[in-house]
Amino acid sequence: MRKMQAEPYRDIDFSKGKRGAVIVSGPGKTKISIRLDNAVLDHFRAIAEAAGGGNYQSLINNALVAHIHQQSLLATLRKVVREELAHAAGAPETWKPKAPSPKTGRRGLRTTHA
């Protein structure tokens, strides 16, 4: 095996250099270290490569965000089904539509006692 020689000394001025990340991440993003199965990485890397390149880490982030939204939707759906079942069981309530939410623009259900 060939011995590696150190690079000769270069006169580089680091007096204006700054410590830290070269690329600053945007707001709402945090750099972490995470261990994932090789199969997970291979899957997302293959998707990114099939799309003509890109960032597989963004694909992983998007998949996690979609999972969070799906869980939130499932929780809301379960709540509505429980309320409907209680109503069908004979709870003395009438159901009227709510005004659209200012945040989502969606209508919900409002319970009023008869």
Scanning the structure block, which residue is given the tokens 């890397």? 45
3-class state of residue 50 by DSSP: helix
CB 95 within 8 Å of CB 87: yes
Structural domain spans, the chain: 38-113
| pLDDT at residue 18 in the model | 81
How many Å apart are CA 13 and CA 8, to the nearest integer? Answer: 15
Q: What is the pTM (predicted TM-score) of this model?
A: 0.51
Which of 106, 114, 110, 113 is closest to 98 using CA atoms? 110
Q: Which residues of the chain have pLDDT under 50?
A: 114
